[in-house]
Structure 1
Amino acid sequence: MSVSKNYLYNVLLIISNTLFPIITFPYISRVLMPEYLGKVYFVQGVVAYFVIISVLGAPNYGIKELSKAKSIGDWEEFKKIFTELFLMTTLSSFGSLLILLVTIKLYGKFSAEKLIFYIFSAQVLFECFHINHFFIVMENHKRRLIRSFLIRFLSLGFLFYFIKTPKDYYLYALLLVIPEILARIIDVFSVRKYFNFNFKELNFKRHIKNMWIIFLYIFTIGIYGSIDTTMLGIMIGDTEVGLYTAAVKMYKMVLPVILTLGTVLSPRIIGAIKRKEKSNIYKNIDMFMDYSFIVGVPATLLMMLLAREFTILFSGEGFIGSINTMIIMSPCLVFLAIGSFVGGQVMLPNDMEKRILTISIFGVFLNIGLNYFLIPIYFRNGAAIATLVTEVFIALVKIKQMKNIYTEYKLLTKDRILTILIGALVSILIYMKIEVFREFGNLLTLLIVPIIYGVLYFGFLILFQNKRVFMWIDFIKKRLP
């Protein structure tokens, strides 16, 4: 299947997954308010560590190993690897669940919200069925789209029907977990349409070393992905977690739009690296980097410009305290996207697991240290600063590692530098007139400003003859009747 079709399915998948929080968050934030919203996301942040333990890094490792077997057409090896990973994660899921239940029992703050913890614990148990890596490698993104849309649609109806008061935060937690469990179960049954599990001559030992390194890497990422809400909840309280989560939710709604191309390109880059086809490697990296700059820069700047409108419209007046937090965190968008791509699609296929792990561990300690000193002073904004500094550091170090592998590759091309400058220029022009737009109200401002920004931004890119934009225009022209 072509990159364009895979990308289209992934975009639709992202739209499906993004529309769900866009539709539900304005409602749920106004019903639960910062305190009860904070309770749910505090628990979800803690349980996230145990979810990571339950899969042992198998999704990331699986993409790499299954892509290698697929690239050489060894389908018996493909089935064997998949079966081995599935059995290993099944065992680890039970172990992770047991550790979580003991932790809830022993730690007082956790036991106070034990019902929510038990609800999220179900996700830990079923995480062994997390086999998205199989469908990514098989490039069956259409199926992923249909499954996600149906589950989200059903959960949407249940959410609006059952959640009416702040005391229904238990039901909200349940509705966050059930779609994930259903998706996992459907995935496992769908695999049997492709092949039966191969239980002959299994060799688990060959995976342990590399999986352990990837697991530690993913776990450290999980720590600095959730440690902010965990530390905020423990050091300050649930209300701060709620305000902080509102800001995080808004910028993370946009993040998958950038990352989706990396997901589509992943099997192709891994195959090119395996075959040592440097021209194809550079071609695919360029495709992602150009896209990240062209889409990520304006998305980041628009989120900063419209943080007030985003917050009030999507979260409500009770979350005004999230505005500055969102402005601080918005630049994470581009750095996190590029850092994730370089780590997962460039360094990992080049067998640089240990370097990725070292970078991540340093990032964790940096993040925890910054949170420890900044949260007591700046509360949620301190956590936002800590996250931003960490993401910038991680991305820059990973880019340096990529340059060490591919010394001829140039990241800051003329077109990408111009993209940043044009994005900044358009932002300044919009900012000078932002109060005029705000007279139309929050909703119209959110509709009008991005359209004007987009017209000016892409107009300048075309004027300065951005190569990638011209490629997109030619691609569209060829498919028009």
Structure 2
Amino acid sequence: MSVSKNYFYNVMLIISNTVFPIITFPYVSRVLMPEYLGKVYFVQGVAAYFLILAVLGVPNYGIRELSRAKGVKDWVEFKKIYTELLIMAIFSSIGAFLLLLGTVHIYGKFTQEKLLFYIFGLQVLFECFQINHYFIVMENHKRRLIRSFTIRILSLGFLFAFVRKPSDYYIYALLLVIPEIIARVIDIYTTRNEIWWNFKELNFKRHIRKTLVIFLYIFTIGIYGSIDSTMLGIMVGDREVGLYTAAVKMNKMVLPVILSLAIVLSPRIIGAIKREENDKLFGYMDFFIDFAFIIGIPVTALLMLLAPELTLLFSGERFRESIITMQIMTPYLVFVAIGTFMGGQIMLPRDKEKSILYISIVGVLINIGLNYFMIPKWGRNGASVATVITETVISIIKVYQVKALYPNYRIWKRDRILPVIFGIVTSGLVVYFSKYLRAYGNFLSLIVVSIFFMGIYGILLLISKNKFIMDGLIFIKGRIKK
């Protein structure tokens, strides 16, 4: 299947997963309010560590190994690898679930919300059936889209029917977990024919060392991805977590859209690296990085400019304190996208697991240290600053690591610098004309500002003859003529 079709289905999948929170969060935030919303997302943040332990690095490792087997069309080897990784994930999920239960009963603060932990513990138990790596390698994004969309629609109906008051936060937690479990069960059932049932021929030892290294890498990323909410909950309280969650929610919904192209390109990048086809590899790298700049810059600017309107529309008046937090957090989007791509799509296929692990450990130490000093003084705003600094430093390190692997690859180009300048110039125009652009109420102002910004930004890209944009227009014209 072509990159364009894969990208379309993958983007539609991400949009379906993004639209669901956009519809539900305004309702949930107004019903549960910051305190009860904070309880749910505090527990979810803690459970995230156990979710990472449950899959033991299998999804990231699986993409690489299954792509290699698929590349040489060794389908027997493909099935054996798939089965070996699945069985390893089953045992690690059971272990992670038991460890979560033990932790809840030992630590006092966790015991207070043990029912919430049990709910999210179910997701940990079923995380072994998280086999997105299989569908990514097989480039079957259409099926993932249909499955996800159907489940989201059903859960949306249950949400509006059963979550009516703050004490229903347990039901909301169930609705966050149950759709994921159902999706995983459906996935494993539909791929049952891919399982190699002659277990005597399986070789688990060949995966253990590499999956453990990747697990440690993913785990350290998970720590500085969730440590902010965890430390806020422990050091300040659930209400602060609720306000922080409202601030970062929009960023977390937008980031997968930017990264969607990386997921689609991943099998092709792995193939180019394996065959040492640097020209093709550089082309894929250019494609993603140009995309990240072209899309990431305006999204970042608009999220910062429209933070007041977005916060009041999607979270409500009770979350007004989240506006500044959102504006502080947003600039990390482009850095995270490029850093994630460099680490997951370039360094991992080059067997640089240890290098990524060391980089991630540095990130964890920086993030925990910054949070420790900043949260007591500035609460959620301190956590935001800590996250932005950490993600920026880690992304820069990964970029230079990739540059060391491929010295001939040019990272900074005219078409990547100009979008940054255009974004700043256009943002200045929005601020200058703010009196006229924001005179229509929150919802209309959001639309007017977005249209004004994207119009000016798009015109500047066309005037500069940005290669990514020009190639895109040529591609669209070709499609129309067909």
The letter of the residue matching 1:180 is E
The letter of the residue matching 1:66 is L
Structure 2 partner of 1:107: 107
Alignment RMSD: 0.9
Structure 2 partner of 1:467: 467
The letter of the residue matching 2:3 is V
Structure 2 partner of 1:191: 191
Structure 2 partner of 1:316: 316
Q: Tell me, yes or no, if the aligned pair for 1:46 and 1:226 is still in contact at 8 Å.
A: yes
Alignment of 1:409-424 (within 5 A): 409-424=409-424
Deviation at 1:194, TM superposition (A): 5.2
Deviations 1:39-66 (A, max 9, x none): 0000000011001101001000000100
1:359 has 2:362 as partner: no
Structure 1 partner of 2:78: 78
Structure 2 partner of 1:149: 149
Alignment of 1:330-341 (within 5 A): 330-341=330-341
* Compared CA separation, residues 197 and 453, structure 1 to 2 (3 A): farther
Deviation at 1:92, TM superposition (A): 0.6
Structure 2 partner of 1:350: 350
Alignment of 1:440-459 (within 5 A): 440-459=440-459
Output the TM-score relative to the length of structure 1. Answer: 0.99
Distance in structure 2 (CA, Å) of the matches to 1:11 and 1:409: 28
* Compared CA separation, residues 35 and 344, structure 1 to 2 (3 A): same
Deviations 1:165-209 (A, max 9, x none): 000000000000001100100100111355655534111111011
The letter of the residue matching 2:461 is L
Structure 2 partner of 1:227: 227
Deviation at 1:227, TM superposition (A): 0.4
Structure 1 partner of 2:295: 295
The letter of the residue matching 2:85 is L
Deviations 1:106-155 (A, max 9, x none): 11100100111111000010001010000000000000000000010000
The letter of the residue matching 1:353 is E
Structure 2 partner of 1:32: 32
Structure 1 partner of 2:131: 131
Deviation at 1:408, TM superposition (A): 0.9
Distance in structure 2 (CA, Å) of the matches to 1:272 and 1:314: 43
Distance in structure 1 (CA, Å) of the matches to 2:126 and 2:197: 18
Structure 1 partner of 2:56: 56
Distance in structure 2 (CA, Å) of the matches to 1:412 and 1:328: 25
Local SS of the residue matching 1:480: helix
Distance in structure 2 (CA, Å) of the matches to 1:467 and 1:77: 41
Distance in structure 1 (CA, Å) of the matches to 2:294 and 2:122: 40
Distance in structure 2 (CA, Å) of the matches to 1:179 and 1:20: 12
Which consecutive residues of structure 1, in runs of 5 or more, have no partner in the other structure?
Answer: none
Deviation at 1:421, TM superposition (A): 0.6
Q: Tell me, yes or no, if the aligned pair for 1:304 and 1:327 is still in contact at 8 Å.
A: yes
Tell me the number of residue pairs that the alignment of Structure 1 and Structure 2 aligns: 481
Structure 2 partner of 1:4: 4
Structure 2 partner of 1:160: 160
Local SS of the residue matching 1:410: coil
Deviation at 1:445, TM superposition (A): 1.1
Structure 2 partner of 1:327: 327
Deviation at 1:248, TM superposition (A): 1.1
Q: In terms of mean alpha carbon deviation, does 184-193 or 361-370 score higher?
A: 184-193
Distance in structure 2 (CA, Å) of the matches to 1:261 and 1:198: 37
Local SS of the residue matching 1:403: helix
Q: Tell me, yes or no, if the aligned pair for 1:79 and 1:197 is still in contact at 8 Å.
A: no
* Compared CA separation, residues 62 and 197, structure 1 to 2 (3 A): farther
Q: Tell me, yes or no, if the aligned pair for 1:79 and 1:198 is still in contact at 8 Å.
A: no
Distance in structure 2 (CA, Å) of the matches to 1:176 and 1:315: 18
Distance in structure 2 (CA, Å) of the matches to 1:184 and 1:387: 31
Deviations 1:353-384 (A, max 9, x none): 00000000010010000000000000000000
The letter of the residue matching 1:302 is L
Deviations 1:223-263 (A, max 9, x none): 00110000000000000000000111111111111000000
Structure 1 partner of 2:96: 96
Output the TM-score relative to the length of structure 2. Answer: 0.99
Alignment of 1:383-462 (within 5 A): 383-462=383-462
Structure 2 partner of 1:242: 242
1:15 has 2:52 as partner: no
Distance in structure 1 (CA, Å) of the matches to 2:6 and 2:48: 29
Distance in structure 2 (CA, Å) of the matches to 1:107 and 1:194: 41
Distance in structure 2 (CA, Å) of the matches to 1:197 and 1:474: 49
Deviation at 1:448, TM superposition (A): 1.3
Local SS of the residue matching 2:349: helix
